[in-house]
Amino acid sequence: MKLDARVPEGPIAEKWSKHKMDMKLVNPANKRKYKIIVVGTGLAGASAAASLSEMGYQVDSFCFQDSPRRAHSIAAQGGINAAKNYQNDGDSVFRLFYDTVKGGDFRAREANVYRLAEVSTQIIDQCVAQGVPFAREYGGHLANRSFGGAQVSRTFYARGQTGQQLLIGAYQALERQIQAGGVKMHTRHEMMDLVVADGHARGIITRDLVSGKLESWAADAVVLATGGYGNVFFLSTNAKGCNVTAIYRAHKKGAGLANPCYTQIHPTCIPQSGDYQSKLTLMSESLRNDGRVWVPKKKEDCGKDPASIPEDARDYYLERKYPSYGNLAPRDISSRAAKQVCDEGRGVGPGGLGVYLDFKDAIARLGRKTVSERYENLFDMYKTITGEDPYQVPMRIYPAVHYTMGGLWVDYNLMSNIPGLHVAGEANFSDHGANRLGASALMQGLADGYFVLPYTIGDYLATAKQPKITTDHWEFKRCLAAVEAQVKKFLSIKGKRTVDSFHRQLGQLMWDKCGMARNEKGLRELLVEIPKLREEFWTNVNVPGSDANLNSALEKAGRVADFLEFAELLVLDALDRDESCGGHFREEHQTEDGEARRDDDKYCHVSVWEYQEGKAPIRHKEPLTFDNVHLATRSYK
């Protein structure tokens, strides 16, 4: 596998401008001759499809939901970062770049991160022009709040529904192009395979989830914007449909998978309440602007009514340990701190797996009305789920799987190592290193879709000069037959266990041994347990019904089969990375006060895995160099 990141020469602040000049263009009259497949209609996919169509390309857009608007991006709550410096508090493109590289624990590619910070300001202008109702100050200016890992306020938001409002903006742009005929929308279509012909990505195979029909689609380039794989842990804050299938099947066709072990555990989620729960709920990081995190100092107080615990008996542990960032310490650090106090027996709520997020002081300082204006829907959601009123009692929160920094490897142009296969949004490994800062995923998805791919795909099309291809090509037929055989296989097993039961068991294994903390022993055990579970899946799963109509068990079977293979790769990567960095915490490598200890000599690289049929995958490395932000031990103290 050849990994060429194709980072342009020159000073970091000029790379993207220079690159845009250097890239080849497609003549406006020729654009309509090219077809581009975009899989995914979240922020990354919808913005890419709409922009490419607006430029004149023919776009085929796919999603598995019944509407592009139901992509998981709709769930994003807290906000989107941009280096506008509206608060005049010292923000700049360089500071956002710096915070993101440091927040990612120096495991991201500098040039990509700089470009992300650079285009962040344009995203806000674009969205405002679309009518996205960002929160505003009394005088009409756009409002900002703070998110973790930053000492400035640069997060733009629409109450606790930022993803929804941004997606409606991107969706409107997409709908406009559908109406204009530039985008053909295929809802309820699941991508089952990538078709690579003569070394280039030339199309996909889909299954119509309503009729069961398998179809082939040919194109000049393919974009995967298929989101993250957090559901490999079964319980996560992700929508239930989020999966690894599209990127994993592309991986099996030769695309390198980068840093699969980098998963983000979010510190503020509603704690799990029972064994039959199928999903966890996020309480946005934005709440930590005003909420204070604490646990009782003494174990004996954990069962008491929190109101009865006096101030001096409370441990505001984030404020104590990280006085500079306090409750807005980054997610990896805040999650581990929560785990630490719970491991000490100072957790609250059922099973002692919870910490308080308390708004008492904020309500006293700002008044209930202001707190409600900022967070009303989050407070309502919390009350509906727990039956407790967070205006009266502190929220109880606990860390949960939330985001995946790993994904398909891409170069500076967001193209994978398979020519023509581009990857955007959470599906690529991109810009967040070993830990993503809050409010940076929406920024990245929209940067990729509105501002990067529209340039770089043109360069690919203008230089690759591939002949036209149709679905009559033998490779399409081969892939379609393989997908059909897999679908039939699921139905033929007729075992005794549901798909969900395998998924739940896999998730439990992953959370226990490859969750917030990992060690060599646990990871090695997983490398035995996962293949065993996979073997049982293929002999004992029960997929009822038929493949000729809507069959959610069949849909899940394909996704879980991929999770069962991908999980092993994730664990292998976690074992191979014998250091702690960001969200990847190897217990063997920690400082005396429990912080992650990196090993820059051995692991300052992106790990990129190459699939090998029937054999162990091969690990390649993309070395990381830091010329503009110097490698340093991360400190938020």
Ligand X SMILES: Cc1cc2nc3c(=O)[nH]c(=O)nc-3n(C[C@H](O)[C@H](O)[C@H](O)COP(=O)(O)OP(=O)(O)OC[C@H]3O[C@@H](n4cnc5c(N)ncnc54)[C@H](O)[C@@H]3O)c2cc1C
3-state secondary structure 583-620: CECECCCECCCCCECCCHHHHCEEEEEECCCCCCCEEE
**Residue number with CB closer to ligand X (85 or 404):** 404
The nearest distance, CB 340 to ligand X, in angstroms, is 24
The nearest distance, CB 79 to ligand X, in angstroms, is 5
> Per CB under 6 A, which region of 337-345, 436-444, 528-536, 628-636 contacts ligand X?
436-444
**Residue number with CB closer to ligand X (402 or 504):** 402
> Per CB under 6 A, which region of 74-82, 172-180, 193-201, 575-583 contacts ligand X?
74-82
Contact (CB, 8 A) for 277 and 289: no
**Residue number with CB closer to ligand X (228 or 306):** 228
Interface with ligand X (CB under 6 A), residue from 53, 58, 73, 177: 73
Q: Is 445 in the site for ligand X (CB under 6 A)?
A: yes
Q: How far apart are CA 543 and CA 533, in angstroms?
A: 17
Q: Is 561 in the site for ligand X (CB under 6 A)?
A: no
Q: Is 164 in the site for ligand X (CB under 6 A)?
A: no
Nearest Cα neighbor of 257 from 420, 428, 109 is 428
Interface with ligand X (CB under 6 A), residue from 8, 42, 182, 291: 42
Q: Strand, helix or coil at 196?
A: strand
The alpha carbon of 126 is separated from its chain's Cα centroid by a whole number of angstroms, namely 22
Strands 618-623 and 263-269, sheet pairing? unpaired
Q: Is 71 in the site for ligand X (CB under 6 A)?
A: yes
Q: Is 60 in the site for ligand X (CB under 6 A)?
A: no
Encoded tokens for 138: 């009394």
Q: Strand, helix or coil at 102?
A: helix
Interface with ligand X (CB under 6 A), residue from 34, 57, 64, 412: 64
Q: How far apart are CA 561 and CA 193, in angstroms?
A: 14
Q: How far apart are CA 160 and CA 410, in angstroms?
A: 31
Strands (E), 345-417: 355-358, 395-404, 407-408
**Residue number with CB closer to ligand X (188 or 497):** 188
Q: Is 459 in the site for ligand X (CB under 6 A)?
A: no
CB neighbour burial string for 157-168, b if at least 16 within 10 angstroms, e if fewer: bbbbbbbbbbbb
Contact (CB, 8 A) for 269 and 237: yes
Helices assigned H by DSSP within 494-618? 499-514, 520-540, 552-576, 600-603
Q: Is 442 in the site for ligand X (CB under 6 A)?
A: yes
**Residue number with CB closer to ligand X (166 or 318):** 166
φ/ψ bin of 203: left (φ > 0), alpha (ψ from -120 to 50), beta (otherwise): left
Q: Is 38 in the site for ligand X (CB under 6 A)?
A: no
Q: How far apart are CA 354 and CA 302, in angstroms?
A: 10
Q: Which residues are catalytic?
A: 331
**Residue number with CB closer to ligand X (93 or 443):** 443
CB neighbour burial string for 321-337, b if at least 16 within 10 angstroms, e if fewer: bbeebbbbbbbbbbbbb
The nearest distance, CB 103 to ligand X, in angstroms, is 12
**Residue number with CB closer to ligand X (327 or 440):** 440
> Per CB under 6 A, which region of 314-322, 408-416, 437-445, 516-524 contacts ligand X?
437-445
**Residue number with CB closer to ligand X (242 or 309):** 242
Q: Is 225 in the site for ligand X (CB under 6 A)?
A: yes
Helix axes 552-576, 499-514, angle to 10 degrees: 20
Q: Is 264 in the site for ligand X (CB under 6 A)?
A: no
Q: Is 44 in the site for ligand X (CB under 6 A)?
A: yes
CB neighbour burial string for 542-570, b if at least 16 within 10 angstroms, e if fewer: bbeeebeeebebbbbbbbbbbbbbbbbbb
Q: How far apart are CA 244 and CA 254, in angstroms?
A: 15
Encoded tokens for 64: 């598995």
Interface with ligand X (CB under 6 A), residue from 238, 327, 335, 417: 238
Encoded tokens for 505: 């068991």
Q: Is 441 in the site for ligand X (CB under 6 A)?
A: yes
Q: Is 430 in the site for ligand X (CB under 6 A)?
A: no
Q: Is 41 in the site for ligand X (CB under 6 A)?
A: yes
The nearest distance, CB 243 to ligand X, in angstroms, is 6
Interface with ligand X (CB under 6 A), residue from 226, 259, 435, 551: 226
Number of residues near ligand X (by CB under 6 A): 46
The nearest distance, CB 245 to ligand X, in angstroms, is 4
Question: If you ran DSSP here, which 8-state letter would residue 473 be given?
Answer: S
> Which string of x and - marks every residue 380-419 that binds ligand X (by CB under 6 A)?
----------------------xx----------------
> Per CB under 6 A, which region of 96-104, 425-433, 594-602, 620-628 contacts ligand X?
425-433
> Per CB under 6 A, which region of 25-33, 75-83, 349-357, 592-600 contacts ligand X?
75-83
The alpha carbon of 522 is separated from its chain's Cα centroid by a whole number of angstroms, namely 25
> Per CB under 6 A, which region of 73-81, 381-389, 411-419, 519-527 contacts ligand X?
73-81
Interface with ligand X (CB under 6 A), residue from 80, 197, 287, 452: 80
One-character DSSP codes across 28-56: HHHHTT-EEEEE--SHHHHHHHHHHHHHT
Interface with ligand X (CB under 6 A), residue from 8, 40, 104, 582: 40
Mention every residue, 6+ apart, whose C-beta is less than 8 A from residue 367.
none
Cα–Cα–Cα angle for 6, 183, 205, rounded to 5 degrees: 70
**Residue number with CB closer to ligand X (73 or 607):** 73
210 to 214, 545, 556, 575: CA distances (angstroms): 11, 13, 14, 41
The nearest distance, CB 558 to ligand X, in angstroms, is 9
**Residue number with CB closer to ligand X (226 or 580):** 226
Q: Is 104 in the site for ligand X (CB under 6 A)?
A: no
Based on its alpha-carbon atoms, the radius of gyration of the chain, rounded to whole angstroms, reads 24
The nearest distance, CB 454 to ligand X, in angstroms, is 16
The nearest distance, CB 37 to ligand X, in angstroms, is 10
Q: How far apart are CA 285 and CA 150, in angstroms?
A: 12
Q: Is 65 in the site for ligand X (CB under 6 A)?
A: yes
The nearest distance, CB 607 to ligand X, in angstroms, is 21
Q: Is 45 in the site for ligand X (CB under 6 A)?
A: yes
> Per CB under 6 A, which region of 117-125, 134-142, 239-247, 377-385 contacts ligand X?
239-247
User: Residue number with the shortest CB distance to ligand X?
Assistant: 42
Helix axes 93-103, 110-130, angle to 10 degrees: 120
Q: Which residues bind ligand X (CB under 6 A)?
A: 39-45, 62-65, 71-73, 75-80, 162-163, 190-191, 225-228, 237-238, 242-243, 245-246, 282, 284, 402-403, 425-427, 439-442, 445
